[in-house]
Copies of this chain bind each other. A is one copy, B any other.
Amino acid sequence: MLYFNEMATVKKKKKTDGAEEKILSAARKLFTEKGFDAVKTRDIAKEAGINLALLNYYFRSKENLFVIIMKENMAKFMEVITKIVDNEETSLEQKIEVLVANYIDILSVNPDMPLFVIRNSRIDDQRMKMRGKFMNSYFMEQVQDSIKKGKIENINPANLILNIVGLTIFPFVAHRMFQSANGFTQKEFNELMQERKKLIPKWIEAMLKVK
């Protein structure tokens, strides 16, 4: 009986258990899956199991709620890059390995994230921060250094980035189409991605020897 008394004192106001968080979860799911325009505030309220008015009570507007979700997603993307790309302790090969592995792990749990970010890049006020993150990184210094030393062939940095990101992220961008086209289950798809985690760094390495 003690438990109930304790619980009663914790919350002072009547509250649908974690309404704010439930709305956020619903918004995250639907916006990431379908994009801003396709999702209606009524859908979010229904998915969250609360009333339409409550959504506006907590978040003021649909736009506002959307921006929160978008920043969340962008932050996840940036976090990986930031941590890895300017580490002066790791080799070029290690960086590529960790970068690929980290992204595949995150995206295996959030497969719709890349498409969401790409679709909404127009609205994003932070995308510019990505500029330079790669290009002016210690990673790029290492690339230039390796080229000078003849360890890898001369490659356009833009191509290197497009290839790493493309090989890693494209399967997730296209995963719905790819899965239905090939009759893959979610599990089979994820196993394939785990396989790619090991292979992509090797493929990149092989590319870098191409004249």
Binding site for B on A (CB under 8 A): 35-38, 115, 117-119, 121-122, 127-128, 130-131, 135, 156, 158-159, 162-163, 165-167, 169-171, 173-174, 176-178, 180-184, 192, 195-196, 199, 202-203, 206-207, 209-210
Contacts and interface: CB of A to CB of B under 8 A. Distances in A.
B173 A162 contact: no
20 contacts: A36-B38, A115-B119, A130-B177, A131-B180, A135-B182, A158-B192, A159-B199, A162-B167, A162-B178, A162-B196, A163-B203, A166-B167, A166-B170, A167-B167, A170-B173, A173-B173, A202-B210, A203-B207, A206-B210, A207-B207
A36 B34 CA distance: 11
Contacts of A174: 118, 165
Interface core residue of A117, A174, A180, A210 (most chain B CB under 10 Å): A174
A135 B182 CA distance: 8
Contacts of A209: 206
Contacts of A163: 167, 203
B121 A119 contact: no
Contacts of A169: 170
